[in-house]
Structure 1
Amino acid sequence: MTGRRWESREIAKHAFAWLAVAVLAVGCATPGDTTSGAAPVPNTAEAAVSTPASAAVVVNSMSIEGGEEDVRIHFGATGFVKHELVASRDSMSVVVKLDDARFEGLSKTTEVGDGTISSIALSDEGEVSVALSAHADSMLISGEAGFTLVIAPFERAAQSAAAQPAKAAVANSSKVRVGSGEVDFTVGVAPTGLSGFVLSDGVRLVIDVEGVALSGGDIFKEYPEGAIKRVIVRESDDKVRAVLEARDSEFIKNYTLSKTDTGFKVLFGSSEETVSVAVAAPSAPEAAPVVVAQTMDEASTPVAAEPNDGSTGGGEITDFGFHQDKDKSYVDLLFSKMAAYNVAEASGNRVVIDMLNTRLPSRFQRALDTSAFAGNIKLIAAYQRKGDTRVVVDLSQPTPFTVLKVDSGLSLAFDGGSGAEMVTSSTTSDKIVLVGGSGEPMSKTETMGSQATGYKGTRISMDFVNADIRNVLRLIGEVSGLNIVTGSEVTGTVTIRLVDVPWDQALEVILKAKGLGKEIEGNIMRVVSAERLDAEYQQVLEKQKAAEEAAKAAEPLSSEIFPVNYAEAGEVLDKITALLSERGSASVDERTNTIIVRDVEEKIELARELVARLDTPTPQVLIEARIVEVSSNYNEDLGIQWGGQYTADASHGNSTGYGFPNSIGIQGSTGAGNYLVNLPAAAAVAGSPGAALAINMGHINDILSLDLRLSALETSGKGRVVSSPRVTTLDNKAAEISQGTEIPFTTISEDETAIESIDYLLALKVTPHVTSDSSIMLKIEIKKDAPSTTYFATDGTPAKETRTANTEVLVRDGETAVIGGIITDSTSESTSGVPWFHKLPFVGWLFKSQTSRVEKTELIIFLTPRIVQLDQTTDL
């Protein structure tokens, strides 16, 4: 069992390395974060590393996680990092060379000192140098957002020499010779066991050699040319492991292992589908008393293996793996404390075993895809189920198995081994499934795409390459607690990598990728093609529709009369007709404004609801208006009147010396009271009591006199005209308010004389619309006419001056809208004077008069709409 135990451990270790990728994708997604359970990198006083800023990918976080078997250094980056791993010849240092990547925010040197890693150094050239405290293997795992360096210390045989069987004598030195198409290993003696497998990267072949030891230390050789790039040979515990790294995966695809008298040989280039191994089959498990032997038809009962410490249960799984010999395929489980087990299922193509009261560490909660190996085991999954550990083995066909007790554990031995064949290029890496508890089965029927969001299933992680779709579905069924039924069209393989997603979301993704659909009823999930599921769904819909139509056809018809109070029955009829069935009919009685409907009761009820919604009173709107016209004017007049008089006659004592009548008179105009310059203020002429100043001058006999009169007038006025009309109208119906003056005039034609009139109106037209939130939209048209003071017809009739305004406003019920801006502003100045003389400086004011006029008019309209309830119309 010792050989099988380590072989299963190596498979488990390889699967756990892939687990680090899943952890890395979560832990390194954000700069500065560390993986769950990983210790943050100590901050040192060293300066931060500085690499070229032109690099495409930035490495911005580093964390270290120590496990039981290895130490992992996680590097988080902004994308995929191209790299190359270089190990030292003495296995005491590891260098990772990065391509087109740079460090950011990381210290140049980090001291670790955990017994495995001494220190980690980052260079400006983009290299990671890890100094080791002990000899160790190294492995590099790539991720989408960084990479993980796995350091696994050697387990020296000297640590447990007393417990190990004696090894054969070896030669003085160990040698490796690389030839064309073969590699020859010389270790001194023929090995007792020989096995190999290709890693998931496709370019590395791992060979485990039993019964030999290295005498000259570890071997590390690099070859700059040829198909083989690197060869590493190291001693670990009770075996020697050789790793051959090729430059091309095609070269290492087909290989043959064979023993020689002094070692073993690897031949490449076989044309067979599988590679034969010319070695003796490993010995059967020792000290393996049969605890229980079961076939697929036997009933399962709880069976307890003999505890190795006097108690049963309460321990944990320390190792979990798979291996084969010539006749058997084994599922191996090692415990820290022996546990009782229960074969929960052993029928058909599945075996389920529960390890009672046993904890399963997260690193072992995974699935191993063994479909590429010979034998009947296709998939092995282990996960925690409440307080027990459940192991599920999916088989290609019903296969008898035996439960064997081994050192500190159990081994499930299934008939059908590897025979003389080993795995070739179809070998897939171990696949990981993390299970965080038991899922609850769904209890409702659903089809593909019905759960686009809101996934609630237990979170799992999957990493499969060319896995049988049916095995993957069975695994999901085991996690979810659902029974799986697949159709005949569910075939083929699937390659997926999902990290920490709900199982129901993983199921949706897998089904979509394969063009499948699902239907869940209770705890049974049926998986068929999406086309078949859609066709079945359409058939169900068609059957339901046919059943509904048949039921409606058998339903009796009835009639009902709907009176329409506020709407036109003919307008409502068209809308009701669209709701009726093929058997229904509707008509209108115009005299009574009613609608007669005949149909099944369901349609009559729809018609009743529609009439109730449409036959509602049209809202009425009361519009209150205040029309205010404000006017102001200002007049200013300034004028002058003056004249003189001279008299010569006998009565005044200044005879002219002429004959009768012997008198002469000179004055400003003809007759008394007239002036030489007569330009008074205009208002004074009209008799307005304007201010005036008169001056009379003459001598004592009144022979010579001078009269002067100055007149001036300044007037101003303000006026305000207010009217308050109001009107009620229906919603969307126009209401019009107008006021004005009618001026008649006479028209004369050849036949007759007629009197006509011109209307000078202030007209207001308002159309209200009541919205659903009780606001009122007002469409307003305003028109104001006035007789012109400038333009007249030939018969003296004044022309019409017109001003209009159109607008729309939105107001709340009862609020007031103000409309202004219809403004008239006129200014005039006029001067009258004696030609030429009125232009004289200063003196010119004795020969002219001046008038100034300013007039302003503004029209302001206030509108207040109110929604009138039906019971308020009487009061209005």
Structure 2
Amino acid sequence: MLKLAAPCFRHLAGLLLILLAGRAYAQGPNHLLQGIDFVAQQGDSMLLTLTVSDGVPEPTAFTIDSPARLSIDLPDTAIALDDPYRKIGMGNVESVAAVQAAGRTRIVVELREMAPYHLRREGNKLYVEIDNPVAAPASTSSASLPAISANNSAISNIDFRRGEQGQGRIVVSMSNPHTMVDVRDDDDRIVAVFRNTSLPEKLAHRLDVIDFATPVKYIDTKRDGPDTQLIVTPTQGASFDQAAYQSGGLYTIELQPLTQAKLEERQRNEPQYKGEKISLSFQNIDIRALLQIIADVAGTNMVISDSVKGNIAMRLQNVPWDQALDIILRSKGLGMRQQGNVMMVAPVEEIAAREKAELEAEKQKTELAPLRSEIIQVNYAKASDIKALLGSDKTSLLSDRGRVTVDERTNTLLVLETQDKIAEIRKLVARLDIPVRQVLIESRIVIANEDYARELGTKFGVSTIGSIGNTQIGQSGTATGARNVLGGTTPLLDDAYSVNLPTSDSGAPSIGWTILGSDFQVDLELQALQTEGRGEVISSPRVVTANGKQATIEQGQEIPYQTSSSNSGTNTQFKKAVLSLTVAPQITPDNRVIMDLNVTNDSKGTDVNTGTGGTAPAIDTRKLDTQVLVRSGDTVVLGGVFQHSTTDSTSKVPLLGDIPLLGFLFRNSDKEDSKRELLIFVTPKVLQEGLKVD
């Protein structure tokens, strides 16, 4: 358990005196802190009683989560205690300490755990009731409730207006400008509680403002004991910015609609607050004193301009201190600049004027600074390219008096500039003059084919001899064969076949039969052929190139052919049939490669007539143009072409070829199946220094 010993208290008191000593008052305080008493209540809650002469001034309070602290400021108050430190050690309270500085007194309550608290003024007594943290809901573990003013207030009017940008604005008129107002989000609604404020019966009703086309749907106003509640119900699904502020006796709640573009921009640009979380509750506090409190919590030094003036009323609960500071600065048109552990706060215009003056002074310093001449060696880049970059109209690093000259022979820059500018130029050259990264691009072009063919051929013939009366008749496959039969000789096979439908390959396996009688001869030959073929051609062009540079590699032949014309006669021209790879790589920061690729694999085809009496070779083209993004070392299929052709043909003797069972004797069957496939792969590899290309 953390306990505040007397030496620690003296150290804390000294620190607070230094931080709070911002202004000196012309006259002494009008109030005296005369006593600090405490009593334990039911449920382990603690009641502190502060006795102040001539009535209790309006207090302000804020909390710190770690370590758990409750700080109460009493303006225009001095300490009149024998011992400003009280050790309690009961309930949730460890100790109470009072510190005086700059005409006010701060009471620091050291807690074991953060817990809700309540302030109540009665005459010259300020009662501080600190609840038991075990009994309090977790969501209010660091809540701070504002001081309750003894002066009652009344709401005189509630007005709703639509802004030019579609915002819904609720304006509440109050009789007392010091009315305490608590605003919170409750189940997608906005609830504003006006403490100790009465509400006329005529204003206790619901306003339906959905027709105004703002983020506000309903406004409900009702009494809640001594307080008044104003409940704002937004339109379902609406996205909006919520703001609440007070100016005199007018309290305004504004809902600004947000478009999808604004929501996305806000998510990108929204600052990340990392400060310690605090709770603040103030009514009409001096802005300088509030900034001193922020500096106290942040543990940093702060310089506040004399131009920072005015008061502010605000209530922030459990927000980072840097976010609280940002809200305060924005609401008052202030800016902040930080150098090391020192913050400077001033109006935005004053900071802008100061920075402008500093820039003017720096410009004059540069104009009056002496010029120096230096030689900067460029190792990898071209010195002329860097010179062009240095002298660019939009990105020039040279002053009006500066000059840069290039020595092409030694690849150096001769710079005439001030010392500061030369240092900037050297930094730029160091960033740009680096070895260019290189890429090895390997492409594979795979051509695969598979062929299948089956043929069945037939040769069939009948030769006979006979007579009708005194007339002899001879019959064979051809007239020559028939004459041979009449002449008493055996006809040749080619002349004996009536059906001659062989396979396309004369060397195909075959089998034959011959039946010979006294006056006839039958010849039959059957042929069958089946062919299968598989092939694969792999071409693998590889090339190394620098990042961003195009490279080309090709292999093949230029095929000559002749053309003729009446004007120029006969000319010899050439056509390329090559395997080529053209690539322009770009290396990304995450070690991937963007490539613009052109891959071709051409070959010579058949000769075709040119129309002028000559012929020219046709080129069978395989080409791919594309852009891909590939991780270094990975292989990607760029594309492919698959061709599948099937042919089934039959040659036959009409009618006879269709006879069942015997029809095969009078026909030829041919069946072909062909498959062709083209695949193109690419593999980029980012080369590191010293890496070899195998």
Q: TM-score, normalised by structure 2?
A: 0.52
| AA partner of residue 770 (structure 1) | I
1:714, distance to aligned residue in structure 2 (A): 0.9
Which residue number in structure 2 is paired with residue 417 of structure 1?
none
2:528 to 686, 709, 712: 712
Bigger drift between 725-734 and 628-637 goes to 725-734
1:638, distance to aligned residue in structure 2 (A): 1.1
1:548 to 350, 362, 365: 362
Q: Distance in 1 between matches of 2:576 and 2:663?
A: 47
Q: Distance in 2 between matches of 1:870 and 1:525?
A: 47
Question: 1:723-742 counterparts in 2 under 5 A?
Answer: 723-731=539-547, 732-739=549-556, 742=559
Contact map agreement 1:679 1:832 (CA 8 A) in 2 = no
Secondary structure at the counterpart of residue 549 of structure 1:
helix
Deviation readout 1:801-843 (Å, 9 max, x if unpaired):
4332223334444444445523333322322223444344444
Question: 1:265-304 counterparts in 2 under 5 A?
Answer: none
2:499 to 657, 678, 698: 678
Contact map agreement 1:762 1:784 (CA 8 A) in 2 = yes
Which residue number in structure 1 is paired with residue 643 of structure 2?
824
The alignment yields a C-alpha RMSD, in angstroms, of: 5.6
**Cα distance 1:726–1:472, how it changes in 2: closer, same or farther (>3 A)?**
closer
Contact map agreement 1:460 1:503 (CA 8 A) in 2 = no
Q: Distance in 2 between matches of 1:524 and 1:681?
A: 105
| AA partner of residue 677 (structure 2) | E
Secondary structure at the counterpart of residue 354 of structure 1:
coil
2:537 to 716, 721, 733: 721
Q: Distance in 2 between matches of 1:621 and 1:318?
A: 76
Higher relative contact order (CA 8 A, sep 6+): 2
Question: 1:199-348 counterparts in 2 under 5 A?
Answer: 320=50, 329=54
Q: Distance in 2 between matches of 1:297 and 1:779?
A: 82
Equivalent pairs counted in the alignment come to 463
1:458, distance to aligned residue in structure 2 (A): 7.6
Which residue number in structure 1 is paired with residue 583 of structure 2?
766
1:354 to 81, 92, 95: 81
**Cα distance 1:591–1:845, how it changes in 2: closer, same or farther (>3 A)?**
same
Deviation readout 1:627-670 (Å, 9 max, x if unpaired):
4332221111111111111235xxxxxx9885xxx965321212
Contact map agreement 2:336 2:343 (CA 8 A) in 1 = yes
1:598 to 408, 416, 419: 416
Which residue number in structure 2 is paired with residue 113 of structure 1?
none
Q: Distance in 1 between matches of 2:370 and 2:609?
A: 82
Q: TM-score, normalised by structure 1?
A: 0.43
Contact map agreement 2:33 2:50 (CA 8 A) in 1 = no
Secondary structure at the counterpart of residue 706 of structure 1:
strand
Secondary structure at the counterpart of residue 434 of structure 2:
coil
Contact map agreement 1:629 1:720 (CA 8 A) in 2 = yes
| AA partner of residue 596 (structure 1) | L
Q: Distance in 2 between matches of 1:768 and 1:519?
A: 45
| AA partner of residue 363 (structure 2) | E
Which residue number in structure 2 is paired with residue 86 of structure 1?
none
Which residue number in structure 2 is paired with residue 775 of structure 1?
592
Q: Distance in 2 between matches of 1:831 and 1:783?
A: 39
Deviation readout 1:300-347 (Å, 9 max, x if unpaired):
x9999xxxxxxxxxxx99855679xxxxx5679xxxxxxxxxxxxxxx
Matched, 1:383 2:107: yes
**Cα distance 1:791–1:302, how it changes in 2: closer, same or farther (>3 A)?**
closer
**Cα distance 1:764–1:696, how it changes in 2: closer, same or farther (>3 A)?**
same
Which residue number in structure 1 is paired with residue 134 of structure 2?
none
1:354, distance to aligned residue in structure 2 (A): 2.7
1:737, distance to aligned residue in structure 2 (A): 2.6
**Cα distance 1:489–1:773, how it changes in 2: closer, same or farther (>3 A)?**
closer
Deviation readout 1:96-139 (Å, 9 max, x if unpaired):
xxxxxxxxxxxxxxxxxxxxxxxxxxxxxxxxxxxxxxxxxxxx
Contact map agreement 1:696 1:705 (CA 8 A) in 2 = yes
Q: Distance in 2 between matches of 1:622 and 1:664?
A: 84
Q: Distance in 1 between matches of 2:585 and 2:402?
A: 39
Q: Distance in 1 between matches of 2:476 and 2:512?
A: 17
| AA partner of residue 729 (structure 1) | T
2:677 to 858, 863, 869: 858
Which residue number in structure 1 is paired with residue 388 of structure 2?
574
Q: Distance in 2 between matches of 1:811 and 1:471?
A: 59
**Cα distance 1:704–1:726, how it changes in 2: closer, same or farther (>3 A)?**
same
Secondary structure at the counterpart of residue 81 of structure 2:
strand
1:778, distance to aligned residue in structure 2 (A): 3.1
| AA partner of residue 681 (structure 1) | P
| AA partner of residue 369 (structure 2) | E
Q: Distance in 2 between matches of 1:790 and 1:828?
A: 25
Q: Distance in 2 between matches of 1:517 and 1:793?
A: 82
Question: 1:83-98 counterparts in 2 under 5 A?
Answer: none
Q: Distance in 1 between matches of 2:620 and 2:514?
A: 49
Q: Distance in 2 between matches of 1:726 and 1:474?
A: 68
Deviation readout 1:267-318 (Å, 9 max, x if unpaired):
xxxxxxxxxxxxxxxxxxxxxxxxxxxxx889xx9999xxxxxxxxxxx998
Q: Distance in 2 between matches of 1:486 and 1:722?
A: 79
| AA partner of residue 107 (structure 2) | Y
Q: Distance in 1 between matches of 2:399 and 2:465?
A: 121
Which residue number in structure 2 is paired with residue 614 of structure 1?
432
Deviation readout 1:508-537 (Å, 9 max, x if unpaired):
86776666789999999999xx6xx33443
Matched, 1:694 2:694: no
Matched, 1:806 2:663: no
**Cα distance 1:330–1:619, how it changes in 2: closer, same or farther (>3 A)?**
closer
**Cα distance 1:635–1:470, how it changes in 2: closer, same or farther (>3 A)?**
closer
| AA partner of residue 353 (structure 1) | A
Contact map agreement 2:440 2:544 (CA 8 A) in 1 = yes
| AA partner of residue 474 (structure 2) | G
Secondary structure at the counterpart of residue 682 of structure 1:
coil
1:733, distance to aligned residue in structure 2 (A): 1.4
1:761, distance to aligned residue in structure 2 (A): 3.9
Which residue number in structure 1 is paired with residue 454 of structure 2?
636
1:600, distance to aligned residue in structure 2 (A): 0.9
Deviation readout 1:64-106 (Å, 9 max, x if unpaired):
xxxxxxxxxxxxxxxxxxxxxxxxxxxxxxxxxxxxxxxxxxx
Contact map agreement 1:735 1:767 (CA 8 A) in 2 = no
Question: 1:485-634 counterparts in 2 under 5 A?
Answer: 490=309, 533-577=347-391, 578-634=396-452
Contact map agreement 2:578 2:602 (CA 8 A) in 1 = yes
**Cα distance 1:708–1:557, how it changes in 2: closer, same or farther (>3 A)?**
same
Contact map agreement 2:541 2:581 (CA 8 A) in 1 = no
**Cα distance 1:837–1:760, how it changes in 2: closer, same or farther (>3 A)?**
farther
Secondary structure at the counterpart of residue 713 of structure 1:
strand
Question: Which is higher, the Rg of structure 1 or of structure 2?
Answer: 1
Contact map agreement 2:460 2:497 (CA 8 A) in 1 = yes
| AA partner of residue 665 (structure 1) | G
**Cα distance 1:807–1:641, how it changes in 2: closer, same or farther (>3 A)?**
same
Contact map agreement 1:477 1:483 (CA 8 A) in 2 = no
Deviation readout 1:682-727 (Å, 9 max, x if unpaired):
33xx432x2322121122xx42111111111111112233444433
Q: Distance in 2 between matches of 1:613 and 1:816?
A: 32
Contact map agreement 1:668 1:675 (CA 8 A) in 2 = yes
Which residue number in structure 2 is paired with residue 206 of structure 1?
none
**Cα distance 1:721–1:613, how it changes in 2: closer, same or farther (>3 A)?**
same
